[in-house]
């Protein structure tokens, strides 16, 4: 905390553990919200260690130990997909949005009909240690991507399902 913060009295608490819940809304049967603690209770999968590397610059960021997390497709299946017309699934996208507004997409096909879906997870543990909000949790991670940084979303806040209208 800087002296200026102390003087004005507007500084945030040193440890902010709020805002760790992930909402799941859009074209689903029942909207959901999962706190970090609730995510820890759900069935999980283990990812492989990897090197975090930026797509845009190819910059090596850091090595990352095994994540443990809940499969994105399992959370979506729990909410249930709304399918009003035949073929709706085929035009469905999933948008994962972080607290800072950073957002990435998946298609229904990727998640439910390719190996990408088997490794797209919402991580709450890294190297057998629980991840805290301060570590960026919950982190969305797509383990089958060629360069992992773009779909390595820190502080995931929202998952939105949309059937694209043409
Ligand atoms: N919430 C959030 N996650 C994000 C980003 C971001 O801007 N916000 N940028 C992504 C990109 S493009 C890169 S290269 C890495 C950067 O990781 P770093 O901030 O640990 O260097 O985070 C990824 N995850
Ligand atoms: Mo990046």
- Domain presence at residue 3: no
Residue 15 confidence (pLDDT) above 50: no
CA 55 to ligand 2 center in whole angstroms:
5
Q: Which atom of ligand 1 is nearest to the CA of 98?
A: 1
Residue 146 sits in a domain of what CATH number? 3.90.420.10
**Segment (H or E) for 74:** helix 72-79
Q: What is the pLDDT of residue 40?
A: 98
What pTM did the predictor assign? Answer: 0.90
Tell me the per-residue pLDDT of 59-70, one tens digit each, with 9 for 90 and over: 999 999 999 999
- Section 40-49 average pLDDT: 98
What average pLDDT does the chain have? 90
Q: What is the dihedral of CA 24, 148, 111, 129, to 10 degrees?
A: -60
Average pLDDT over residues 3-26: 58
- 9 located within any domain: no
* Nearest one of 49, 6, 44 to 121, comparing CA atoms: 44
For the chain, how many structural domains are there in total?
A: 1
In-domain check, residue 109: yes
Looking at the domain assignment, is residue 12 inside a domain?
Answer: no
> Could you give the CA distance from residue 30 to residue 114 in angstroms, rounded to a whole number?
25
Residues less than 5 Å from ion ligand 2, measured at CB:
54, 56, 149
Residue 8 lies in a domain: no
Ligand 1, pocket-test mutation among 51, 102, 126, most atoms within 8 A of CB: 102
Each residue's pLDDT tens digit, 75-122? 999 999 999 988 899 999 999 999 999 999 999 999 999 999 999 999
d(CA 39, CA 159) in angstroms, rounded, equals 14
Q: What is the domain range of residue 100?
A: 19-163
pLDDT at 19: 77
């Amino acid at each position: 905390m800087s002296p200026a913060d102390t003087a004005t009295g507007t500084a945030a608490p040193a440890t902010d553990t709020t805002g760790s819940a992930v909402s799941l809304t859009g074209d689903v049967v029942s909207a959901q919200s999962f706190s970090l603690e609730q995510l820890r209770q759900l069935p999980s999968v283990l990812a492989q260690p990897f090197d975090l590397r930026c797509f845009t610059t190819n910059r090596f960021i850091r090595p990352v130990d095994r994540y443990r997390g809940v499969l994105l497709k399992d959370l979506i299946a729990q909410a249930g997909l709304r399918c009003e017309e035949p073929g709706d699934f085929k035009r469905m996208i999933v948008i994962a949005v972080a607290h800072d507004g950073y957002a990435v997409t998946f298609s229904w096909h990727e998640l439910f009909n390719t190996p990408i879906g088997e490794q797209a997870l919402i991580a709450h543990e890294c190297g057998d240690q629980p991840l805290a909000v301060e570590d960026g949790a919950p982190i969305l991670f797509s383990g089958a991507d060629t360069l992992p940084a773009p779909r390595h979303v820190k502080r995931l806040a929202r998952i939105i399902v949309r059937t694209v209208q043409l």
